[in-house]
Structure 1
Amino acid sequence: MDRRSFLTKAAIGGAGAAALAAPALAQSSPKVTWRLTSSFPKSLDTIYGGAETLSKMLSEATDGNFQIQVFSAGELVPGLQAADAVTTATVEACHTVGYYYWGKDPTWALGSAVPFSLSARGMNAWHYHGGGIDLFNEFLGQHNIIGFPGGNTGVQMGGWFRKEINTIEDLKGLKFRVGGFAGKVLERLGVVPQQIAGGDIYPSLEKGTIDGAEWVGPYDDEKLGFFKVAPYYYYPGWWEGGPTVHFMFNKAAYEGLPKNYQSLLRTACQAADADMLQKYDYKNPTAIKSLVTQGTQLRPFTPEILSACFDASNEVYAEMEASNPGFKKIWDSIKDFRADNYTWAQIAEYNYDTFMMVQRNAGKI
Structure 2
Amino acid sequence: MQTNFDISQEDQYDEDALLFEHASEKLITNSDSVDDIDISQHVIDKNELDSEDEELEYQKPDEDELDTQEQSLRSPFNTHIPMQPTWTPSIIAEMRRVVHKYSRDTLDEDDEDTYDPAMVAEYAPEIFNYLHELENKLAPDANYMDNQDELKWEMRSVLIDWVVQVHSRFNLLSETLFLTVNYIDRFLSKRKVSLSRFQLVGAVALFIAAKYEEINCPTVQEVAYMADNAYTIDEFLKAERFMIDVLEFDMGWPGPMSFLRRTSKADDYDYETRTLAKYFLEITIMDSKFVASPPSWLAASAHYLSRKLLNRGEWTELHVFYSGYTERQLRPVAEILLESCRHAETNHKAIFEKYSERRYRRSSIFVQEYFDSL
TM-score, normalised by the number of residues in structure 2: 0.23
TM-score, normalised by the number of residues in structure 1: 0.23
More strand by share: 1
Q: With a CA cutoff of 8 Å and minimum separation of 6, indicate the structure with the bigger relative contact order.
A: 2
More helix by share: 2
